Structure 1
């Protein structure tokens, strides 16, 4: 058995496999399918300062080799999480992380501060792909200034591991990664979904209630892999790679491109045991190739 443990910020992961927010609920929903304690960590669904209803239905659509969604961060708010969900998660022997979203830097910071008080939540992932309501709806994560403003506000009030999830809907993702690193991010995760749409030609309408949505699944993997490779060469903090990972071979590609850890997202909808299959498959590959420690392949791309 190869050594699979890695470190992301202050997080000690028993293996590099995490789950992507929005695809794993609160983790509890998957407890009947897998042993949550085997995961390097899992990231619970997007959490905001106040409850959100999300977008109208339909808000999911299948596409070739992927899916679109415009769920809209439906959740019951951070206080509900702290009071009702956290007590069910705190004794799991894995890194339980919370994905934090907001509509202003102040919202993000207040939400993060309330999670900071929870002893058994060692880190958060900031979703900076949210629209800035004060700036005409433009996502924070598409400019260096917007991304930096959120991280700066959160870093002042959050003292544990801070992972920033980057949007791929930009021209230069490496510059944005460097901007959040400069403001105190402990790690970056990428990619979030690509913007896309699908049209029902019989109804002459979009298949999603708000017209467009986030594209995920195997179809985005080549883009995600390229962006992870670019960012890993540009920053000095750990990179967490995600986007279309379906099996151990996919995960290993991301590690070779420079990711220290990976997240599995859309694949969880297809097979709820994907995470465990990836952990076991990674172990088998490393053993069969004489690799004693996963660090030997991280960033090894020639």
Structure 2
């Protein structure tokens, strides 16, 4: 489907993720935006390209004991433990509100087995307002001795295939950066039918309290996010863009429109704003405004789609 330019409107910020057309390329990252209602008095939710909700499991999860968040240099560590209300309560308590927004709601899902992913997807199929599924494969695979789906191409492909076979909406697979070759993982989920890939999830890290000589997090280790991981995320988006043909959604340390546009130049069709939401609740809305200004003012740019993959390498000599 070709986009038809509306000459009466403002800058053309529309992008496509599979069959899903977004009014702009800015999404919220799962786990940093709750179920959207939490931010309704802090920003204009209708300005977003899409909302991606807190990860949903088959049954409710209480999460890890505190302390489970700690600020680090240029970022934060979290070990929330995927706390959520479970898929059934999510459908009855959260989806009616999300369905009332005029932006797509994408549901992030997680599981301990291929069967759990399939079952969650089946329960979400046909629920009004569910515009897409984002598959978090950085979860322990209970049936495989604690190995993460996101670290094994075959298991990642199996989960992707199961979800894709069970739903009729676009499927986005969220990749872990804690792998040897991110391109191998990306190709595996693309071959299994993924409509899009989002990356990166958090890096593994820890913090230590020197006075107490103890880990700061009760879980000992956690996920590192924020500006500190941006260079790693940019590199991985660039590598994956050269390895697959499906759309990519960039994540990792994005705080400003400039950050978002760098990811798009590297090959991302859209971006997700995560840790910045904790620092500035209007961060996502401000990124949309900044991208619009760039498209409007930059020479040779007619739409935001002209930015995607536009990184210039011609100055590099052999």
Q: TM-score if structure 2 supplies the norm length?
A: 0.94
Q: Corresponding residue for 1:215?
A: 224
- Shift of the alpha carbon at 1:152? 1.5
Q: Corresponding residue for 1:292?
A: 302
- Shift of the alpha carbon at 1:59? 0.5
Q: Is the 8 A contact 1:199 1:205 kept in 2?
A: yes
- Shift of the alpha carbon at 1:289? 1.2
Mark the structure with the bigger radius of gyration. Answer: 2
Q: How does 1:102-251 map to 2 (within 5 A)?
A: 102-251=111-260
Q: Corresponding residue for 2:7?
A: none
Q: Is the 8 A contact 1:240 1:261 kept in 2?
A: yes
SS at match of 1:156: helix
SS at match of 1:177: helix
Pick from 24, 30, 33: which aligns with 2:42? 33
Q: Is the 8 A contact 1:60 1:208 kept in 2?
A: yes
Q: How does 1:240-279 map to 2 (within 5 A)?
A: 240-279=249-288
1:17 aligns with 2:26: yes
- Shift of the alpha carbon at 1:2? 2.3
Q: Corresponding residue for 2:95?
A: 86
Tell me how large the CA RMSD over aligned residues is.
0.8
- Bigger shift: residues 152-161 or 252-261: 152-161
In the TM superposition, what whole-angstrom CA distance separates every residue of 1:8-53 from its partner, at most 9, and x where no partner exists? Answer: 0121100000000000000011110112111100100010001111
Structure 1 CA distance, aligned partners of 2:85 and 2:42?
25
Q: Is the 8 A contact 1:196 1:212 kept in 2?
A: yes
Q: Is the 8 A contact 1:109 1:158 kept in 2?
A: no
Which structure 1 segments of 5+ residues have no match? Answer: none
In the TM superposition, what whole-angstrom CA distance separates every residue of 1:119-174 from its partner, at most 9, and x where no partner exists? Answer: 21110100000000111111100110111111122122122110000000001001
- Shift of the alpha carbon at 1:117? 2.1
Structure 2 CA distance, aligned partners of 1:245 and 1:285?
16
Structure 2 CA distance, aligned partners of 1:116 and 1:245?
31
Structure 2 CA distance, aligned partners of 1:154 and 1:289?
40
Q: TM-score if structure 1 supplies the norm length?
A: 0.99
SS at match of 2:264: helix
Structure 1 CA distance, aligned partners of 2:166 and 2:308?
32
Pick from 35, 39, 49: which aligns with 2:58? 49
Q: Corresponding residue for 2:13?
A: 4
Aligned residues: 302
Structure 2 CA distance, aligned partners of 1:179 and 1:49?
25
Structure 1 CA distance, aligned partners of 2:233 and 2:202?
9
Structure 1 CA distance, aligned partners of 2:278 and 2:139?
23
Q: Corresponding residue for 2:67?
A: 58
Q: Corresponding residue for 2:106?
A: 97
Q: Corresponding residue for 1:301?
A: 311
Structure 2 CA distance, aligned partners of 1:121 and 1:68?
30
Structure 2 CA distance, aligned partners of 1:247 and 1:75?
29
SS at match of 1:81: helix
Structure 2 CA distance, aligned partners of 1:178 and 1:234?
7
- Shift of the alpha carbon at 1:294? 0.8
